[in-house]
Amino acid sequence: MKKFFMFVLVIGVMVLIACGGGDQDDGTVVEEGDEASLEAPDSSDDKSPTTKVDSATPSYSGIETDGGTLTRLWADPPTLDPHLTGDTTSAGVVVEIFSGLVALNTDLELVPDIAESWDISGMGEVYTFRIRDDVTFHNGRKVTAADFKWSLERAASPKLASHLADTYLNDIVGASEYIAGEADSIKGITVIDDKTLQITVDAPKAYFLAKLTYPTAYVLDRETVEGGGRNWWVTDPVGTGPFKMSEYSIGERITLERFGGYYRDPQPQLDTIQLNLAGGQAMAMYENDEIDVTGVGLFDLERVQDPNEPLNKELTVAPPGFSVSYIGMNVAQPPFDDVNFRRALNHAIDKELIAKEVLAELVKPAYSILPPGFPGYTPDIKGLTFDPDKAREYLEASKYSDVESRPRIVVTVPGTGGTIGLDLEVIIEMWKQELGVEVEIQQVEWATYLEDLDNRKFQAYAGLGWSADYPDPQDFLDILFHGDSGMNHGNYANNEVDSLLEDARVIQDPIKRVGIYQKAEQMIVDDAAWVPTWFTGEQYALVKPHVIGYRLTPMIVPKLQEVHLD
């Protein structure tokens, strides 16, 4: 999966995984787009910083487990409420505690989850799901179709005000009216009986089932949620996943323990998962056997690649992630309301130079939106490459060529006073040298940054990226650039692009559908809706030899149930 991740470059190093928490000075590169907020929130404002959860879990016998504890670096998640989860820091934990009708496995294949099977009828708009009979919440209560109806309506409730509902549930008939407070229920969700749920969508859509793998569609225990208040997930996050939370100490640790009543194979074998939220130097902690997995930073990469180095035997090369980092611009605010100004900024950046000389080729320059290897990707997209002469021509043609009358430009990045990343520093200097465009930086704490991003408060924003929720181009192009999308934080609007994206939603021919997405992508790039910066290159991680079955995946999926310790 998922959502926004904080993109941090420290001493020329990209941080892409939630195992790098806290202290960044070690230059850790971390894997798979499970992006963590690397600043641990101040726990002094939390009235209950340590919570231990005692769930009335039924006893299950006959399950052989290896046991043991897997220890990782992480960061405090903005939320563990699945229906509010919009970032990878949260999602990396949420997918292990909660679950839904369908899921993506570690091969990124769509597989049955709580729904053991389903039928698609009508013209492809009606989905009938059959709920497994052996699924319980962590408190022992059986999951029914009514739980899913309540959960989906709770996710879309105007009272909850989740900014994700309109993006991930709006295909369901009646969902938009319910989200707007114009209906008492979602018309397209019907409980046939305790084990049968029917969902009707507004048109046949190839990506709908994949959308249900997103946490917005996860099932929750109504009694737990309604009895726990807004932050119920801090005190009692009852889910259905392979692990349950037994402790959350803000700024210190999250402890997950095996759920003995889990309904799918493989059964989880780890006794516990310890997520260290206090930070530290990842490489030093790994070498001191304090953590079991870490990314490898620039300063350590040459050393661990040496065959004579003992750590070399533990080095793993991860595939490039399905993610893209970028600088966003609010096209409703000057000077970014001028397409020529936006194009000028794009053409003024020498990404090849930065990738090679600053970032040690740990990233690949991005000139398009869809990442390499992702469905719909094509190298034929013509990007706005480095061309200082063309950059100056576009600036001169814009409304903001006169430096004296040009509006003040503020780029907001996540953080609390630390480095903004060498890549962004170099980009800002290139804008100044090539165009005479000067930029101010504002830093905002990660959770607040996400909230302000959703409210479209920023003039321009950087330091983040988008990681795939599910393997379909709709997840990038439609969600991020359609004029009516709640995730279109830059207010980009192009009627022709919107029409193409709407056509692609319902076309069943996969070749024609991909062709439409590629046409829309080229138009988005030509409009300079973003400054796309980097795709991930090969990522390096160290995994302790006693950790068996740990997969490095290009997007977040539930996977720790497959891990055991030798």
- Cα distances from 344 to residues 97, 385, 531, in angstroms, run 46, 10, 10
Specify burial of residue 92 (Cβ count, 10 A radius: 0-12, 13-18, 19+). buried
Which amino acid, one-letter code, is at 1?
Answer: M
pLDDT at 235: 85
Q: pTM value?
A: 0.84
Domain boundaries, the chain: 4-97+240-318+539-565, 102-219, 323-535
pLDDT at 416: 82
243 SS3 class: strand
pLDDT at 112: 98
Compute the half-sphere exposure of residue 119: CA atoms within 13 Å on the CB side of its CA. 7
CA-based nearest residue to 94, from 226, 103, 508: 103
**323-535: in CATH 3.10.105.10:** yes
- Cα distances from 166 to residues 88, 175, 204, in angstroms, run 19, 8, 18
254, containing H or E segment: strand 253-258
Asked if residue 480 lies in contact with residue 465, where contact means CB atoms within 8 angstroms, the answer is no
Asked if residue 75 lies in contact with residue 88, where contact means CB atoms within 8 angstroms, the answer is no
**4-97+240-318+539-565: in CATH 3.30.70.1880:** no
pLDDT at 448: 92
Per-residue pLDDT of the chain (566 residues; tens, 9 = 90+): 335 555 543 322 233 322 223 333 322 223 333 333 222 223 223 333 333 333 333 333 344 455 899 999 999 999 999 999 988 899 999 999 999 999 999 999 999 999 999 999 989 999 999 999 999 999 999 999 999 999 999 999 999 999 899 999 999 999 999 999 999 999 999 999 999 999 999 999 999 999 999 999 999 999 999 999 888 999 889 999 999 999 999 999 999 999 999 999 999 999 999 999 998 999 999 999 999 999 988 789 899 999 999 999 999 988 888 999 999 999 999 999 999 999 999 999 999 999 999 988 889 999 999 999 999 999 999 999 999 999 999 999 999 999 999 999 999 999 887 788 899 999 999 999 999 999 999 999 988 998 999 999 999 999 889 999 999 999 999 999 999 998 999 999 999 999 999 999 999 999 999 999 999 999 999 999 999 999 987 788 999 999 999 999 999 999 999 999 98
pLDDT at 66: 55
Class of domain 102-219: alpha beta
Tokens representing residue 383 in the block: 């990007």
- Cα distances from 512 to residues 121, 193, 288, 373, 446, in angstroms, run 23, 39, 54, 19, 39
